[in-house]
Amino acid sequence: MPYQIVNINDVNQQQSNIGIGVQFPFNGRAGLMSGTYTTKEQLISNLKNLLLTYKGERFYHYNFGTNLPALIFEPNTSHLKEQVSETITDAVSYWLPQISIVDIQTTTTEDDPTLNCEVKIKISFQILPAEDPNNLNTIVIFVDNTNLTIQ
């Protein structure tokens, strides 16, 4: 069977109908998983997956993930914000070197009493190579008493 080797960057720029991965969260229509068609979409899905995976959860990849889901339910102290930033930065720099974390803002109900959740984490990042330093992407994680939601 003949095949053709194609540069993935060329595919993303020329043909937007060729899927390169699976979109996170896995909630496609009619029970099917939605695909990603650009490198940017796939890296954002990979970042969400990394942040919500417990270390030790992936078989044969015991260091993959973060302890972020457990960490954000710890007592709300000043040390918590440092731990959240360090956990996210360490995991992303190791597992997703194509992503550069620009800023991590952790807001708690002590900081903002009008917050609809217990903790809000806003992660601003760039996908490398960053051609435009003003082109930031963001992911926001909301935590309340029973749920952890990522957008």
DSSP for 5-66? ---HHHHHHH-TTS--EE-SS---GGGPPPEE-SHHHHHHHHHHHHHHSBTT-STT-TT-SB
Looking at residues 50-70, what average pLDDT do you find? 85
Task: Say whether pLDDT at 14 is over 60.
Answer: no
Name the amino acid, one letter, at 109.
T
Higher pLDDT, 14 or 133: 133
Per mean pLDDT, which range of 19-23, 26-30, 100-104, 125-129 is the poorest? 26-30
φ, ψ for residue 82, nearest 5 deg: -65, -40
Token digits for 25? 């969260």
Task: Say whether pLDDT at 28 is over 80.
Answer: no
Q: Name the most confidently modeled range: 66-75, 82-91, 130-139, 140-149.
A: 82-91
**Contact status, residue 53 vs residue 64, Cβ threshold 8 Å:** yes
8-150 CATH: 3.10.450.40
* Direct distance between the N- and C-terminal alpha carbons of the chain, in angstroms, rounded to an integer: 42
Q: Which residues contact 34 (CB under 8 A, 6 or more apart)?
A: 22, 23, 26, 27, 28
Write down the pLDDT at residue 101.
93
Q: Where in the chain are the domains?
A: 8-150
Task: Say whether pLDDT at 73 is over 50.
Answer: yes
φ, ψ for residue 30, nearest 5 deg: 55, 35
Average pLDDT of the chain is 78
What would the pLDDT profile of 110-137 be if each residue is shown by its tens digit? 788 787 777 888 999 998 877 666 678 8
Looking at residues 36-42, what average pLDDT do you find? 78
Higher pLDDT, 14 or 64: 64
Helix or strand holding residue 90 (H, E): helix 78-95
Closest C-alpha to 122, from 106, 137, 109: 106
